[in-house]
Chains A and B, each alone.
Chain A
Protein backbone atom coordinates (compact mmCIF):
# COMPACT_ATOMS: atom_id res chain seq x y z
CA UNK A 1 0.00 0.00 0.00
CA UNK A 2 2.70 2.44 1.01
CA UNK A 3 4.75 1.55 -2.02
CA UNK A 4 1.68 2.10 -4.23
CA UNK A 5 1.07 5.54 -2.73
CA UNK A 6 4.67 6.56 -3.15
CA UNK A 7 4.65 5.45 -6.78
CA UNK A 8 1.85 7.93 -7.63
CA UNK A 9 2.12 10.63 -4.96
CA UNK A 10 5.72 11.55 -5.50
CA UNK A 11 5.44 12.32 -9.22
CA UNK A 12 2.19 14.23 -8.53
CA UNK A 13 3.80 16.37 -5.84
CA UNK A 14 6.78 16.99 -8.07
CA UNK A 15 4.47 18.02 -10.92
CA UNK A 16 2.60 20.48 -8.68
CA UNK A 17 5.85 21.93 -7.37
CA UNK A 18 7.29 22.45 -10.81
CA UNK A 19 4.04 23.61 -12.45
CA UNK A 20 4.09 27.24 -11.25
CA UNK A 21 7.66 28.07 -12.33
CA UNK A 22 7.02 26.31 -15.59
CA UNK A 23 3.90 28.41 -16.20
CA UNK A 24 5.78 31.62 -15.36
CA UNK A 25 8.59 30.61 -17.71
CA UNK A 26 6.07 30.06 -20.43
CA UNK A 27 4.53 33.50 -19.79
CA UNK A 28 7.94 35.12 -19.82
CA UNK A 29 8.58 33.47 -23.13
CA UNK A 30 5.35 34.89 -24.46
CA UNK A 31 6.45 38.35 -23.29
CA UNK A 32 9.75 38.00 -25.17
CA UNK A 33 8.01 36.83 -28.30
CA UNK A 34 5.57 39.72 -27.97
CA UNK A 35 8.47 42.16 -27.69
CA UNK A 36 10.09 40.71 -30.80
CA UNK A 37 6.79 40.99 -32.69
CA UNK A 38 6.53 44.63 -31.54
CA UNK A 39 10.07 45.31 -32.76
CA UNK A 40 9.15 43.62 -36.08
CA UNK A 41 6.26 46.10 -36.31
CA UNK A 42 3.74 43.28 -36.07
CA UNK A 43 1.62 45.15 -33.54
CA UNK A 44 -1.49 42.93 -33.68
CA UNK A 45 0.63 39.81 -33.09
CA UNK A 46 2.54 41.55 -30.33
CA UNK A 47 -0.68 42.64 -28.63
CA UNK A 48 -2.13 39.17 -28.83
CA UNK A 49 0.96 37.52 -27.32
CA UNK A 50 1.27 40.09 -24.57
CA UNK A 51 -2.40 39.77 -23.61
CA UNK A 52 -1.93 36.01 -23.34
CA UNK A 53 1.18 36.50 -21.26
CA UNK A 54 -0.62 38.95 -18.93
CA UNK A 55 -3.43 36.50 -18.42
CA UNK A 56 -0.96 34.12 -16.80
CA UNK A 57 1.35 34.44 -13.83
CA UNK A 58 4.03 37.11 -14.25
CA UNK A 59 6.47 38.82 -12.00
CA UNK A 60 6.03 42.54 -11.39
CA UNK A 61 8.93 43.43 -13.71
CA UNK A 62 7.71 41.30 -16.60
CA UNK A 63 4.13 42.45 -16.05
CA UNK A 64 5.23 46.10 -16.17
CA UNK A 65 7.20 45.49 -19.36
CA UNK A 66 4.32 43.57 -20.95
CA UNK A 67 1.78 46.27 -20.16
CA UNK A 68 4.03 49.03 -21.50
CA UNK A 69 4.57 47.22 -24.81
CA UNK A 70 0.91 46.15 -24.99
CA UNK A 71 -0.19 49.78 -24.63
CA UNK A 72 2.32 50.90 -27.25
CA UNK A 73 1.25 48.15 -29.66
CA UNK A 74 -2.38 49.15 -29.22
CA UNK A 75 -1.48 52.81 -29.87
CA UNK A 76 0.15 51.79 -33.14
CA UNK A 77 -2.75 49.51 -34.00
CA UNK A 78 -4.74 52.61 -34.80
CA UNK A 79 -7.42 54.90 -33.33
CA UNK A 80 -9.85 52.04 -33.02
CA UNK A 81 -7.57 50.37 -30.47
CA UNK A 82 -6.96 53.60 -28.51
CA UNK A 83 -9.26 52.52 -25.63
CA UNK A 84 -7.41 49.24 -25.37
CA UNK A 85 -4.17 51.20 -25.22
CA UNK A 86 -5.57 53.39 -22.43
CA UNK A 87 -6.76 50.31 -20.57
CA UNK A 88 -3.31 48.71 -20.73
CA UNK A 89 -1.62 51.92 -19.61
CA UNK A 90 -4.13 52.34 -16.78
CA UNK A 91 -3.31 48.85 -15.53
CA UNK A 92 0.35 49.81 -15.73
CA UNK A 93 -0.18 53.05 -13.82
CA UNK A 94 -2.07 51.26 -11.07
CA UNK A 95 0.56 48.55 -10.89
CA UNK A 96 3.41 51.00 -10.61
CA UNK A 97 2.38 54.64 -10.24
CA UNK A 98 6.01 55.78 -10.53
CA UNK A 99 6.65 54.01 -13.80
CA UNK A 100 7.59 56.20 -16.73
CA UNK A 101 8.07 54.63 -20.19
CA UNK A 102 11.57 55.05 -21.57
CA UNK A 103 11.50 57.88 -24.14
CA UNK A 104 14.41 56.23 -25.94
CA UNK A 105 12.28 53.15 -26.51
CA UNK A 106 8.82 54.55 -27.05
CA UNK A 107 7.92 57.35 -29.46
CA UNK A 108 6.23 60.57 -28.31
CA UNK A 109 2.73 59.55 -29.38
CA UNK A 110 2.94 56.55 -27.04
CA UNK A 111 4.29 58.70 -24.21
CA UNK A 112 1.51 61.22 -24.78
CA UNK A 113 -1.19 58.59 -24.40
CA UNK A 114 0.53 57.19 -21.34
CA UNK A 115 0.78 60.63 -19.72
CA UNK A 116 -2.83 61.36 -20.49
CA UNK A 117 -3.85 58.12 -18.79
CA UNK A 118 -1.56 58.74 -15.82
CA UNK A 119 -2.91 62.25 -15.30
CA UNK A 120 -6.51 61.11 -15.44
CA UNK A 121 -5.96 58.19 -13.09
CA UNK A 122 -6.29 59.22 -9.45
CA UNK A 123 -4.90 56.39 -7.42
CA UNK A 124 -2.21 55.53 -4.93
CA UNK A 125 -0.23 52.46 -4.28
CA UNK A 126 0.34 51.69 -0.58
CA UNK A 127 3.50 50.04 0.59
CA UNK A 128 4.42 49.13 4.14
CA UNK A 129 6.71 46.75 5.93
CA UNK A 130 4.95 43.47 6.71
CA UNK A 131 5.39 44.03 10.43
CA UNK A 132 6.21 46.97 12.69
CA UNK A 133 6.72 46.92 16.43
CA UNK A 134 6.95 50.13 18.42
CA UNK A 135 5.97 51.95 21.60
CA UNK A 136 2.57 53.61 21.26
CA UNK A 137 2.89 57.36 21.38
CA UNK A 138 6.66 57.23 21.34
CA UNK A 139 8.79 59.69 19.47
CA UNK A 140 9.96 58.25 16.20
CA UNK A 141 9.12 54.76 15.13
CA UNK A 142 5.52 53.81 14.63
CA UNK A 143 3.80 52.16 11.72
CA UNK A 144 4.94 53.75 8.45
CA UNK A 145 3.15 53.50 5.14
CA UNK A 146 4.36 55.02 1.87
CA UNK A 147 1.85 56.20 -0.67
CA UNK A 148 2.83 56.50 -4.33
CA UNK A 149 0.44 58.64 -6.31
CA UNK A 150 -0.28 58.25 -10.01
CA UNK A 151 -0.83 61.98 -10.32
CA UNK A 152 -1.66 64.99 -8.23
CA UNK A 153 -4.90 64.47 -6.28
CA UNK A 154 -6.40 64.54 -2.82
CA UNK A 155 -6.10 61.67 -0.40
CA UNK A 156 -7.47 60.95 3.04
CA UNK A 157 -5.55 58.45 5.10
CA UNK A 158 -7.24 57.00 8.15
CA UNK A 159 -6.93 54.16 10.59
CA UNK A 160 -10.34 52.63 11.08
CA UNK A 161 -11.89 49.68 12.81
CA UNK A 162 -13.30 46.85 10.79
CA UNK A 163 -16.77 48.34 11.16
CA UNK A 164 -15.55 51.58 9.60
CA UNK A 165 -15.35 53.65 12.78
CA UNK A 166 -12.45 56.03 12.43
CA UNK A 167 -9.74 55.52 15.01
CA UNK A 168 -7.31 58.16 13.80
CA UNK A 169 -7.00 60.41 10.77
CA UNK A 170 -3.39 60.38 9.69
CA UNK A 171 -3.46 62.72 6.70
CA UNK A 172 -5.87 64.76 4.61
CA UNK A 173 -4.36 66.65 1.68
CA UNK A 174 -2.75 66.41 -1.69
CA UNK A 175 -0.37 63.78 -2.96
CA UNK A 176 1.58 63.97 -6.16
CA UNK A 177 4.55 61.66 -6.30
CA UNK A 178 4.84 60.03 -2.91
CA UNK A 179 3.88 60.56 0.68
CA UNK A 180 4.90 58.95 3.93
CA UNK A 181 2.33 58.61 6.71
CA UNK A 182 3.11 57.51 10.20
CA UNK A 183 0.82 56.08 12.89
CA UNK A 184 2.03 56.20 16.47
CA UNK A 185 -0.47 53.61 17.69
CA UNK A 186 -2.76 56.11 19.44
CA UNK A 187 -6.36 56.94 18.73
CA UNK A 188 -7.83 60.39 18.28
CA UNK A 189 -8.01 60.89 22.05
CA UNK A 190 -4.36 60.00 22.47
CA UNK A 191 -5.07 56.65 24.08
CA UNK A 192 -3.44 53.38 23.17
CA UNK A 193 -5.50 51.33 20.73
CA UNK A 194 -6.61 47.92 21.84
CA UNK A 195 -5.54 44.69 20.34
CA UNK A 196 -7.65 43.95 17.29
CA UNK A 197 -8.14 44.24 13.56
CA UNK A 198 -7.92 47.62 11.91
CA UNK A 199 -7.75 48.99 8.40
CA UNK A 200 -5.47 51.56 6.86
CA UNK A 201 -7.88 53.25 4.47
CA UNK A 202 -6.60 55.55 1.72
CA UNK A 203 -9.35 57.37 -0.20
CA UNK A 204 -8.50 59.20 -3.43
CA UNK A 205 -10.45 62.21 -4.74
CA UNK A 206 -9.65 64.18 -7.87
CA UNK A 207 -9.88 67.36 -5.81
CA UNK A 208 -11.27 68.46 -2.46
CA UNK A 209 -15.03 68.09 -2.24
CA UNK A 210 -15.23 65.72 -5.19
CA UNK A 211 -16.44 62.15 -4.73
CA UNK A 212 -14.01 59.44 -3.73
CA UNK A 213 -12.96 57.60 -6.87
CA UNK A 214 -10.80 54.92 -5.40
CA UNK A 215 -10.00 53.47 -2.05
CA UNK A 216 -7.21 51.23 -0.90
CA UNK A 217 -7.82 49.29 2.28
CA UNK A 218 -4.86 47.65 3.95
CA UNK A 219 -5.84 45.20 6.73
CA UNK A 220 -3.87 45.64 9.91
CA UNK A 221 -3.62 43.32 12.86
CA UNK A 222 -2.59 45.23 16.01
CA UNK A 223 -1.34 43.41 19.09
CA UNK A 224 -0.81 45.56 22.16
CA UNK A 225 1.31 44.18 24.98
CA UNK A 226 1.05 46.54 27.93
CA UNK A 227 0.79 46.60 31.70
CA UNK A 228 -2.41 48.10 33.06
CA UNK A 229 -1.91 51.61 34.31
CA UNK A 230 -2.87 52.42 37.89
CA UNK A 231 -5.93 54.45 38.68
CA UNK A 232 -5.10 58.07 39.35
CA UNK A 233 -5.89 59.49 42.77
CA UNK A 234 -8.90 61.76 42.99
CA UNK A 235 -8.45 65.28 44.24
CA UNK A 236 -7.60 65.52 47.91
CA UNK A 237 -10.82 64.99 49.94
CA UNK A 238 -11.67 67.70 52.44
CA UNK A 239 -12.11 65.08 55.13
CA UNK A 240 -8.33 64.70 55.25
CA UNK A 241 -7.79 68.39 55.92
CA UNK A 242 -8.00 70.12 59.25
CA UNK A 243 -9.95 73.36 59.63
CA UNK A 244 -7.58 76.23 58.98
CA UNK A 245 -9.69 78.75 60.84
CA UNK A 246 -11.07 78.41 64.33
CA UNK A 247 -14.82 78.21 64.71
CA UNK A 248 -17.09 79.85 67.25
CA UNK A 249 -16.67 76.67 69.24
CA UNK A 250 -13.02 77.58 69.79
CA UNK A 251 -14.07 80.86 71.38
CA UNK A 252 -16.59 79.13 73.59
CA UNK A 253 -13.96 76.57 74.54
CA UNK A 254 -11.60 79.39 75.51
CA UNK A 255 -14.23 80.94 77.71
CA UNK A 256 -15.07 77.59 79.26
CA UNK A 257 -11.40 76.90 79.95
CA UNK A 258 -11.00 80.32 81.51
CA UNK A 259 -14.03 79.83 83.71
CA UNK A 260 -12.89 76.35 84.69
CA UNK A 261 -9.43 77.50 85.74
CA UNK A 262 -10.96 80.50 87.46
CA UNK A 263 -13.30 78.22 89.35
CA UNK A 264 -10.35 76.08 90.36
CA UNK A 265 -8.62 79.16 91.78
CA UNK A 266 -11.67 79.97 93.85
CA UNK A 267 -12.14 76.36 94.92
CA UNK A 268 -8.57 75.73 96.00
CA UNK A 269 -8.71 77.18 99.56
CA UNK A 270 -11.74 75.18 100.74
CA UNK A 271 -10.42 72.04 99.04
CA UNK A 272 -6.86 72.29 100.27
CA UNK A 273 -7.16 74.13 103.55
CA UNK A 274 -10.73 73.94 104.71
CA UNK A 275 -11.50 76.14 107.63
CA UNK A 276 -8.90 78.78 106.97
CA UNK A 277 -9.54 82.34 105.96
CA UNK A 278 -7.97 82.73 102.56
CA UNK A 279 -6.72 86.05 101.33
CA UNK A 280 -8.07 87.82 98.28
CA UNK A 281 -5.05 86.86 96.20
CA UNK A 282 -6.99 84.05 94.56
CA UNK A 283 -9.42 86.56 93.10
CA UNK A 284 -6.61 88.26 91.24
CA UNK A 285 -5.73 85.04 89.45
CA UNK A 286 -9.36 84.01 88.99
CA UNK A 287 -10.16 87.41 87.48
CA UNK A 288 -7.16 87.31 85.17
CA UNK A 289 -8.05 83.85 83.93
CA UNK A 290 -11.69 84.81 83.40
CA UNK A 291 -10.60 87.87 81.48
CA UNK A 292 -8.36 85.68 79.32
CA UNK A 293 -11.34 83.43 78.60
CA UNK A 294 -13.42 86.41 77.51
CA UNK A 295 -10.58 87.57 75.28
CA UNK A 296 -10.47 84.07 73.80
CA UNK A 297 -14.21 84.11 73.19
CA UNK A 298 -13.87 87.32 71.22
CA UNK A 299 -10.64 86.67 69.37
CA UNK A 300 -10.56 82.94 68.71
CA UNK A 301 -13.37 82.50 66.16
CA UNK A 302 -11.97 83.00 62.66
CA UNK A 303 -8.40 82.94 63.81
CA UNK A 304 -5.98 81.20 61.45
CA UNK A 305 -4.76 77.95 62.97
CA UNK A 306 -1.17 77.91 61.87
CA UNK A 307 -0.59 74.42 63.12
CA UNK A 308 -3.49 73.15 61.04
CA UNK A 309 -2.35 75.17 58.05
CA UNK A 310 1.09 73.60 58.31
CA UNK A 311 -0.45 70.15 58.76
CA UNK A 312 -2.66 70.68 55.73
CA UNK A 313 0.30 71.80 53.66
CA UNK A 314 2.11 68.63 54.64
CA UNK A 315 -0.97 66.58 53.81
CA UNK A 316 -1.31 68.25 50.43
CA UNK A 317 2.38 67.78 49.71
CA UNK A 318 2.16 64.10 50.63
CA UNK A 319 -0.91 63.71 48.44
CA UNK A 320 0.83 65.42 45.56
CA UNK A 321 3.83 63.16 46.03
CA UNK A 322 1.55 60.13 45.73
CA UNK A 323 -0.04 61.60 42.60
CA UNK A 324 3.37 62.24 41.10
CA UNK A 325 4.54 58.75 41.97
CA UNK A 326 1.49 57.30 40.27
CA UNK A 327 2.13 59.41 37.19
CA UNK A 328 5.71 58.27 37.06
CA UNK A 329 4.67 54.65 37.47
CA UNK A 330 2.00 54.96 34.80
CA UNK A 331 4.48 56.63 32.47
CA UNK A 332 6.89 53.77 33.09
CA UNK A 333 4.17 51.26 32.33
CA UNK A 334 3.15 53.12 29.20
CA UNK A 335 6.76 53.27 28.09
CA UNK A 336 6.98 49.52 28.49
CA UNK A 337 4.00 48.98 26.16
CA UNK A 338 4.67 47.58 22.68
CA UNK A 339 2.31 47.60 19.72
CA UNK A 340 2.94 45.17 16.90
CA UNK A 341 1.19 45.90 13.62
CA UNK A 342 1.04 43.20 10.95
CA UNK A 343 0.04 44.17 7.45
CA UNK A 344 -2.32 42.13 5.27
CA UNK A 345 -2.98 42.12 1.54
CA UNK A 346 -4.38 45.45 0.31
CA UNK A 347 -7.86 45.56 -1.17
CA UNK A 348 -8.85 48.13 -3.80
CA UNK A 349 -12.35 49.50 -4.24
CA UNK A 350 -12.83 51.41 -7.51
CA UNK A 351 -15.40 54.14 -8.16
CA UNK A 352 -16.40 54.41 -4.51
CA UNK A 353 -18.41 57.61 -4.94
CA UNK A 354 -19.32 59.76 -1.94
CA UNK A 355 -18.05 58.77 1.48
CA UNK A 356 -14.87 57.37 2.71
Chain B
Protein backbone atom coordinates (compact mmCIF):
# COMPACT_ATOMS: atom_id res chain seq x y z
CA UNK B 1 0.00 0.00 0.00
CA UNK B 2 1.37 3.35 -0.93
CA UNK B 3 1.95 6.13 1.56
CA UNK B 4 -0.86 8.56 0.46
CA UNK B 5 -3.41 5.81 0.75
CA UNK B 6 -2.21 4.83 4.18
CA UNK B 7 -2.29 8.43 5.35
CA UNK B 8 -5.77 8.98 3.94
CA UNK B 9 -7.06 5.79 5.49
CA UNK B 10 -5.64 6.53 8.91
CA UNK B 11 -6.93 10.10 8.74
CA UNK B 12 -10.41 8.96 7.80
CA UNK B 13 -10.47 6.38 10.55
CA UNK B 14 -9.32 8.90 13.12
CA UNK B 15 -11.94 11.42 12.12
CA UNK B 16 -14.55 8.72 12.10
CA UNK B 17 -13.86 7.46 15.56
CA UNK B 18 -13.63 11.02 16.85
CA UNK B 19 -17.13 11.68 15.65
CA UNK B 20 -18.36 8.34 16.89
CA UNK B 21 -18.85 9.47 20.44
CA UNK B 22 -21.42 12.03 19.34
CA UNK B 23 -23.54 9.62 17.38
CA UNK B 24 -25.30 6.40 18.01
CA UNK B 25 -26.95 3.72 15.97
CA UNK B 26 -25.60 0.52 14.55
CA UNK B 27 -26.87 -1.03 11.38
CA UNK B 28 -26.15 -3.87 9.08
CA UNK B 29 -26.92 -3.93 5.40
CA UNK B 30 -26.62 -6.84 3.04
CA UNK B 31 -27.66 -7.12 -0.56
CA UNK B 32 -27.25 -9.27 -3.61
CA UNK B 33 -28.10 -8.95 -7.23
CA UNK B 34 -27.16 -9.11 -10.88
CA UNK B 35 -25.23 -6.57 -12.87
CA UNK B 36 -25.09 -6.20 -16.61
CA UNK B 37 -21.51 -5.39 -17.54
CA UNK B 38 -20.12 -3.93 -20.74
CA UNK B 39 -16.34 -3.80 -21.08
CA UNK B 40 -14.82 -1.70 -23.79
CA UNK B 41 -11.09 -1.89 -24.32
CA UNK B 42 -9.14 0.08 -26.87
CA UNK B 43 -5.40 0.17 -27.40
CA UNK B 44 -3.20 2.65 -29.18
CA UNK B 45 -2.49 0.03 -31.80
CA UNK B 46 -6.15 0.13 -32.80
CA UNK B 47 -7.07 -3.16 -31.22
CA UNK B 48 -10.38 -2.92 -29.45
CA UNK B 49 -12.86 -5.21 -27.85
CA UNK B 50 -16.38 -4.81 -26.64
CA UNK B 51 -17.67 -7.60 -24.45
CA UNK B 52 -20.60 -7.80 -22.14
CA UNK B 53 -22.28 -10.15 -19.76
CA UNK B 54 -23.86 -10.52 -16.42
CA UNK B 55 -22.09 -10.82 -13.13
CA UNK B 56 -23.60 -11.81 -9.82
CA UNK B 57 -22.59 -11.02 -6.34
CA UNK B 58 -23.36 -9.22 -3.21
CA UNK B 59 -22.32 -6.43 -0.95
CA UNK B 60 -22.77 -5.57 2.65
CA UNK B 61 -21.79 -3.04 5.19
CA UNK B 62 -21.75 -2.76 8.91
CA UNK B 63 -21.81 0.62 10.55
CA UNK B 64 -21.14 1.87 14.01
CA UNK B 65 -22.31 5.41 14.32
CA UNK B 66 -20.94 7.42 11.41
CA UNK B 67 -18.34 4.84 10.45
CA UNK B 68 -18.95 1.85 8.27
CA UNK B 69 -17.02 -0.92 6.61
CA UNK B 70 -18.28 -1.79 3.17
CA UNK B 71 -17.43 -5.02 1.38
CA UNK B 72 -18.49 -6.30 -2.03
CA UNK B 73 -17.79 -9.17 -4.40
CA UNK B 74 -18.97 -9.76 -7.96
CA UNK B 75 -18.12 -12.41 -10.47
CA UNK B 76 -19.31 -13.39 -13.92
CA UNK B 77 -18.47 -14.12 -17.52
CA UNK B 78 -18.32 -11.67 -20.41
CA UNK B 79 -18.42 -12.43 -24.09
CA UNK B 80 -18.57 -10.57 -27.39
CA UNK B 81 -21.94 -11.94 -28.36
CA UNK B 82 -23.61 -15.09 -29.58
CA UNK B 83 -21.10 -17.51 -31.04
CA UNK B 84 -18.14 -15.54 -29.89
CA UNK B 85 -15.15 -17.29 -28.52
CA UNK B 86 -13.77 -14.17 -26.89
CA UNK B 87 -14.64 -15.14 -23.35
CA UNK B 88 -13.31 -13.74 -20.16
CA UNK B 89 -14.26 -14.00 -16.57
CA UNK B 90 -14.41 -10.86 -14.49
CA UNK B 91 -14.03 -10.87 -10.72
CA UNK B 92 -14.36 -7.75 -8.67
CA UNK B 93 -13.95 -7.24 -4.95
CA UNK B 94 -13.83 -4.11 -2.84
CA UNK B 95 -13.29 -3.07 0.74
CA UNK B 96 -14.01 0.50 1.72
CA UNK B 97 -14.03 2.43 4.95
CA UNK B 98 -16.93 4.86 5.05
CA UNK B 99 -17.26 8.03 7.06
CA UNK B 100 -20.69 9.54 7.04
CA UNK B 101 -20.21 13.00 8.59
CA UNK B 102 -23.75 14.06 7.71
CA UNK B 103 -26.65 11.80 6.78
CA UNK B 104 -26.65 12.78 3.12
CA UNK B 105 -22.93 12.72 2.46
CA UNK B 106 -20.32 10.01 2.86
CA UNK B 107 -16.62 9.75 2.15
CA UNK B 108 -15.12 6.38 1.34
CA UNK B 109 -11.52 5.27 1.22
CA UNK B 110 -10.37 1.80 0.31
CA UNK B 111 -9.42 -0.57 -2.40
CA UNK B 112 -11.07 -2.31 -5.30
CA UNK B 113 -9.44 -5.24 -7.01
CA UNK B 114 -10.56 -6.51 -10.40
CA UNK B 115 -9.35 -9.45 -12.40
CA UNK B 116 -9.98 -10.27 -16.05
CA UNK B 117 -9.34 -13.91 -16.71
CA UNK B 118 -8.82 -14.85 -20.35
CA UNK B 119 -7.29 -17.91 -21.96
CA UNK B 120 -4.20 -15.78 -22.53
CA UNK B 121 -3.80 -14.97 -18.87
CA UNK B 122 -5.11 -12.98 -15.98
CA UNK B 123 -4.89 -9.23 -15.73
CA UNK B 124 -5.24 -7.79 -12.26
CA UNK B 125 -6.13 -4.22 -11.45
CA UNK B 126 -5.95 -2.79 -7.94
CA UNK B 127 -7.41 0.64 -7.42
CA UNK B 128 -6.73 2.51 -4.18
CA UNK B 129 -9.50 4.95 -4.34
CA UNK B 130 -11.35 7.77 -2.63
CA UNK B 131 -15.05 8.13 -3.13
CA UNK B 132 -17.69 10.68 -2.36
CA UNK B 133 -21.31 9.65 -2.17
CA UNK B 134 -24.28 11.98 -1.88
CA UNK B 135 -27.80 10.80 -1.17
CA UNK B 136 -31.10 12.57 -1.35
CA UNK B 137 -34.61 11.39 -0.62
CA UNK B 138 -36.73 11.84 -3.70
CA UNK B 139 -40.04 10.47 -2.46
CA UNK B 140 -40.15 10.66 1.30
CA UNK B 141 -39.70 8.19 2.84
CA UNK B 142 -39.53 5.41 0.30
CA UNK B 143 -37.39 6.46 -2.66
CA UNK B 144 -33.86 7.69 -2.39
CA UNK B 145 -31.38 8.61 -5.08
CA UNK B 146 -27.61 8.64 -4.91
CA UNK B 147 -24.64 9.85 -6.87
CA UNK B 148 -21.19 8.48 -6.18
CA UNK B 149 -17.91 9.38 -7.88
CA UNK B 150 -14.44 8.04 -7.25
CA UNK B 151 -10.94 8.69 -8.27
CA UNK B 152 -8.02 6.33 -7.98
CA UNK B 153 -5.34 7.58 -5.64
CA UNK B 154 -3.11 4.81 -6.82
CA UNK B 155 -3.55 2.01 -9.30
CA UNK B 156 -1.55 -1.14 -9.86
CA UNK B 157 -1.87 -3.43 -12.81
CA UNK B 158 0.19 -6.36 -14.01
CA UNK B 159 0.71 -4.81 -17.42
CA UNK B 160 3.88 -3.54 -19.09
CA UNK B 161 2.66 0.03 -18.92
CA UNK B 162 1.94 2.05 -15.86
CA UNK B 163 -1.53 3.37 -15.13
CA UNK B 164 -2.25 6.97 -16.03
CA UNK B 165 -5.46 7.33 -14.04
CA UNK B 166 -8.61 5.59 -13.00
CA UNK B 167 -11.98 7.10 -12.11
CA UNK B 168 -15.61 6.20 -12.03
CA UNK B 169 -19.06 7.05 -10.89
CA UNK B 170 -22.46 5.62 -10.12
CA UNK B 171 -25.99 6.95 -10.08
CA UNK B 172 -28.80 4.95 -8.55
CA UNK B 173 -32.23 4.75 -7.14
CA UNK B 174 -33.22 2.79 -4.03
CA UNK B 175 -36.74 1.82 -3.13
CA UNK B 176 -37.02 1.47 0.61
CA UNK B 177 -39.67 -0.06 2.82
CA UNK B 178 -41.53 -1.47 -0.16
CA UNK B 179 -41.29 -4.92 1.40
CA UNK B 180 -40.72 -4.17 5.03
CA UNK B 181 -37.01 -4.15 5.76
CA UNK B 182 -36.09 -5.07 2.20
CA UNK B 183 -34.86 -2.60 -0.34
CA UNK B 184 -34.50 -2.71 -4.11
CA UNK B 185 -31.87 -0.79 -6.04
CA UNK B 186 -31.28 0.11 -9.63
CA UNK B 187 -27.95 1.75 -10.43
CA UNK B 188 -25.89 2.77 -13.40
CA UNK B 189 -22.13 2.94 -13.09
CA UNK B 190 -19.19 3.65 -15.31
CA UNK B 191 -15.45 3.61 -14.71
CA UNK B 192 -12.53 4.36 -16.93
CA UNK B 193 -8.88 3.39 -16.54
CA UNK B 194 -6.05 4.43 -18.81
CA UNK B 195 -2.51 3.27 -19.12
CA UNK B 196 0.21 5.81 -19.69
CA UNK B 197 0.81 7.08 -23.17
CA UNK B 198 -2.70 6.08 -24.14
CA UNK B 199 -1.39 2.57 -24.60
CA UNK B 200 -4.73 1.19 -23.57
CA UNK B 201 -8.05 2.48 -22.25
CA UNK B 202 -10.54 0.29 -20.47
CA UNK B 203 -14.12 1.40 -19.79
CA UNK B 204 -16.66 -0.59 -17.82
CA UNK B 205 -20.34 0.24 -17.78
CA UNK B 206 -22.65 -1.49 -15.36
CA UNK B 207 -26.38 -1.60 -14.84
CA UNK B 208 -26.99 -3.18 -11.47
CA UNK B 209 -30.15 -4.50 -9.95
CA UNK B 210 -29.98 -5.64 -6.36
CA UNK B 211 -32.17 -6.51 -3.45
CA UNK B 212 -31.07 -6.12 0.10
CA UNK B 213 -31.95 -6.04 3.72
CA UNK B 214 -31.18 -3.41 6.26
CA UNK B 215 -30.36 0.25 6.07
CA UNK B 216 -30.33 0.34 2.29
CA UNK B 217 -27.09 2.24 2.03
Contacts and interface: CB of A to CB of B under 8 A. Distances in A.
A332 to B, nearest CB: 37
A257 B138 CA distance: 6
A258 B188 CA distance: 15
Interface residues of B, number: 32
| B172, B188, B190, B203 pick with most chain A CB within 10 angstroms | B188
Given A264-B147, A273-B203, A284-B188, A295 B167 contact: no
A73 to B, nearest CB: 101
Interface residues of A, number: 34
B190 A273 contact: yes
A257 B140 CA distance: 12
A250 B147 contact: no
A303 B187 contact: no
B171 A271 contact: no
B188 A281 contact: yes
B143 A285 contact: no
Contacts of A277: 40
A173 interface: no
A254 B173 CA distance: 13
Contact of B186 (A246, A279, A288, A303): A288
Contacts of A299: 139
Q: Is the interface of A mostly helix, strand, loop or mixed?
A: helix
B136 A257 contact: yes
B143 A296 contact: yes
B145 A269 contact: no
B147 A261 contact: yes
Interface in B121-179: 136-141, 143, 145-147, 149, 167-173
Contact of A279 (B38, B136, B167, B170): B38
Nearest to B139: A296
Contacts of B143: 292, 295-296
Given A261-B136, A276-B40, A299-B139, A292 B145 contact: yes
Contacts of A254: 137-140
Interface string A281-310: 110111011001101100110010110000
A135 to B, nearest CB: 48
Contacts of B187: 285
Nearest to B194: A273
Q: Is the interface of B mostly helix, strand, loop or mixed?
A: strand
A271 B138 contact: no
B36 A261 contact: no
B38 A265 contact: no
A291 B186 CA distance: 13
B107 interface: no
A86 to B, nearest CB: 94
A328 interface: no
B73 to A, nearest CB: 21
A322 to B, nearest CB: 26
B205 A279 contact: yes
A272 B140 contact: no
A288 to B, nearest CB: 5
Interface of A: 246, 250, 254, 257-258, 260-261, 264-265, 268-269, 271-273, 276-279, 281-282, 284-286, 288-289, 292-293, 295-296, 299-300, 303, 305-306
Given A268-B190, A281-B205, 16 more contacts: A246-B140, A254-B138, A261-B146, A261-B171, A264-B147, A268-B170, A268-B189, A281-B206, A282-B188, A284-B188, A285-B172, A285-B207, A289-B138, A292-B143, A295-B139, A296-B143
10 contacts: A254-B139, A261-B136, A265-B171, A268-B171, A273-B191, A281-B38, A288-B186, A292-B139, A296-B140, A299-B139
